[in-house]
Structure 1
Amino acid sequence: MATQTFRAAAIQMRSGVDPQSNIADLTERVAEAVSLGAEYIQTPEMTGALIGDRASLMEILRGENDDPVVQAASELARKHGICLHIGSIAVAAGGGKIANRAFVFDARGEIVARYDKIHMFDVDLDNGESWRESATYEPGRHAAIVAFPFVRMGLGICYDVRFPDLFQKQARAGAQMLTAPAAFTRQTGEAHWHVLQRARAIENGAFVVSAAQGGKHEDGRETYGHSLIVDPWGRIIAEADHNEPAVIVADIDPAASAAARAKIPNLKNDRAFDLEAVEVPESARARA
């Protein structure tokens, strides 16, 4: 089990519709994170482009072997000798399907893990805001853990953070750090972002690192920002307290995960149980 302390960075972006412009921003922010001593660097969901219109997205879509963000990320990881976690990009998955896919590169610039977002953001919010990710993306079917020498890391993307079972499975498999790079809407972010990140950290005794998109994007959407790094006790140890592009860093000690789990061993104490529904008749209702 990894115990070496390392410095993690989360890059907050405002990705537009042009991948090359986003790559330029990525390149600059990675260099900034490296200058701050980061050895693991994470970017948000849809690092390569935020495009709501499916037809427009299809025009720039590439397979991962030809994707310019994948190529640039590989070179950046190799050049700087870092672990680079691209929170996600849209990639052609064959058969006319699109995957919302995360990539993790090692210091040699090689892809060591992929993860396709499992849970699709199909919601109807207040003020007419509505999203149907399942109309564009093919859901993933496999969770993923990356076992680096310095940390075991579980992979998630954005809406996944609302599904505790995914992260609990990763924690039970030894993950000391969980990730949920995101493009949270402003509306849902203001309501739930901080509490969800802290809850996943507390209930799993794990660090949570979540780079975010922030601000008003070219396709018209508005995202919340507030990239976070949370420790296993649920304390926020780094935050971009706004929606502007930024880099945040924090030192991660995997031993703190073991310490938190020893104090509150809920993962060990969990028990299977049956659920019984008891129906109460209307006649039993209290009357004034």
Structure 2
Amino acid sequence: MNNKLSIALCQMMTGPSKTENLARADKMIEQACQRDVDLIILPEVFNSPYQADLFPAYAEPYPGPTTEFLSRTAREKGVAIVGGSIIEQSAQGKLYNSSFVFDEHGNLLGRHRKIHLFDVDMPGRITFKESDTLSPGNNITLFEFHGIRIGLLICYDIRFPEVSRALALAGADLLIVPAAFNHTSGPLFWELMMRSRAVDQQLYVAAAAPATNQDALYHAWGNSLIVDPWGRIIARADDREQIVFAELDFSVNEEIRREIPLYKHRRTDLYELKSQSVGKIENIQED
């Protein structure tokens, strides 16, 4: 495994025009590539507004315009890209909140379909129901990039520690989380969730969010951040459009696991986590 990885989180603002959103993503990727980065991460639903009632209008198949843009850009820039997420339409017409990952040659490394749909009702604050239009994915996603094992989650997935633990037990060195917390959940839970997962799984967490757009109906929280395995925030944005950079040193994973050996201390005689789908790569041309 490579001991280091240079990453960039592109906290971009999104609007109603898919064409303009892709152009904005292209510009931020170009800016990020001015630094010597290995991997660029875009936010959740980066090519459209985050509104459940609009998801069908912005949905597209794989391959489609956005994934072709991501593959081409990765190849031309020579950098791996985690394409935040988009609304994917399957051959059967189902809609998924999906993240596609391309290596520096433009080859597909993996796809994650959000497995926990964001259905919440906080009276007087926010009501949102992804399940009105979306279907949940059924795989826990782990992919490898230059010897580094990376778990991929989307937003609400991070609230379920079983998923992160399953990924850690499968060898994940880093969790990547494209997410779009809002101005209600963000102040309460954003930093808490990301730091908690980093500490309880003893690995890096990189969470990429959209910038706040006051003209949108859904106000994303922004605050993209990168947390090390000790729970320290090593890079963070505010709510404006910007790029967050960090170099991850995976010897830190080894350090904390040596000094605080949680995995050796697990009482698997008393509890057990079962998952048969970690790292499963389904045929993404189907379903």
Q: Structure 1 length normalisation: TM-score?
A: 0.90
Q: Quick one: structure 1 residues 92 and 217, their matched pair in 2 at CA, closer, same or farther if it must change by over 3 Å? A: farther
The match for 2:21 is: 22
Q: How does 1:175-186 map to 2 (within 5 A)?
A: 175-186=172-183
For residues 189 and 117 of structure 2, what CA distance do their matches in structure 1 show?
A: 17
Question: Which one of 255, 259, 277 corresponds to residue 259 of structure 1?
Answer: 255
Change in 2 beyond 3 A, CA 1:116/1:63: same
Picking from 113, 116, 119, the partner of 1:116 is 113
CA 1:29/1:266 → structure 2, altered by over 3 Å: closer, same or farther?
same
**Secondary structure of the residue that 2:111 maps to in structure 1?**
strand
C-alpha change, 1:104 and 1:53, in structure 2 (3 Å) is: closer
Equivalent in the alignment of 1:48? 47
Cα distance, 1:86 vs structure 2: 0.8
Amino acid at match of 1:113: G
Instruction: Give the one of 189, 201, 215 matched to 2:212.
Output: 215
The amino acid that maps onto 1:261 is: R
2:63 aligns with one of 41, 62, 65: 65
Give the match's secondary structure for 1:69: helix
Give the structure 1 partner of residue 5 of structure 2.
6
Q: Letter of the 2:35 partner, please give it.
A: L
Question: How well do the aligned residues superpose, as a CA RMSD in angstroms?
Answer: 1.5
1:59 shift after superposition: 2.8
Asked which structure has the greater CA Rg, the reply is 1
Report runs of 4+ in structure 1 exceeding 6 Å deviation: none
- Which segment drifts farther, 181-190 or 253-262? 253-262
Q: Secondary structure at the match of 2:235?
A: strand
Q: Is the 8 A contact 1:17 1:51 kept in 2?
A: no
Identity of matched residues, %: 33
1:172 is the counterpart of 2:169: yes
Query: Residues of 2 paired with 1:31 and 1:150: CA distance?
Result: 25
Cα displacement (A) at 1:261: 1.3
Equivalent position amino acid for 1:105 in 2 = F
* Structure 2 equivalent of residue 246 of structure 1: 242
Query: What is the deviation of 1:53?
Result: 4.8
Q: CA deviation at 1:181?
A: 1.1
Question: 2:239 aligns to what SS in structure 1?
Answer: coil
Which amino acid counterpart does residue 135 of structure 2 have in structure 1? E
Most deviating of 200-209 and 253-262 = 253-262
1 CA distance for matches of 2:152 and 2:58?
25
Asked whether the 8 Å contact 1:16–1:51 carries over to 2, the reply is no
1:162-192 C-alpha deviation (Å, 9 max, x unpaired): 1011011111111110111101111100111
One-letter amino acid matched to 1:123: V
- Shift of residue 128, structure 1, vs aligned partner: 4.4
Structure 1 runs not aligned, ≥5 long: 275-288
Shift of 1:268: 2.8
Query: Aligned ranges for residues 261-280 of structure 1 at < 5 Å?
Result: 261-272=257-268, 273=270
Gapped runs of 5+ residues in structure 2? 272-287
Is contact 1:122–1:134 with CA below 8 Å preserved after alignment? yes
- Give distance in 1, aligned partners of 2:256 and 2:11: 28
Tell me the distance in 2 between the aligned counterparts of 1:205 and 1:151.
15
User: Secondary structure at 2:109's aligned position in 1?
Assistant: strand
Give the whole-Å Cα distance in 1 for the aligned partners of 2:187 and 2:62. 33
- In structure 2, give the amino acid aligned to 1:91: E
**Quick check: 2:89–2:96 contact (8 Å CA) kept in 1?**
yes
1:92 pairs with one of 85, 89, 103: 89
Find the counterpart in structure 1 of residue 194 from structure 2.
197
CA distance in 2, matches of 1:117, 1:217: 26
Q: Contact conserved, 1:115 with 1:140, CA < 8 A, in 2?
A: yes
Structure 2 residue identity aligned to 1:35: Q
Q: Structure 1 20/218 Cα, relative in aligned 2: closer, same or farther at 3 Å?
A: farther
| CA displacement at 1:150 relative to structure 2 | 4.3
Question: Across the two proteins, how many residue pairs are aligned to each other?
Answer: 270
- Give TM-score scaled by structure 2 length: 0.90
Secondary structure, counterpart of 1:25 in structure 2: helix
CA distance in 1, matches of 2:3, 2:266: 29
Shift of 1:65: 1.2
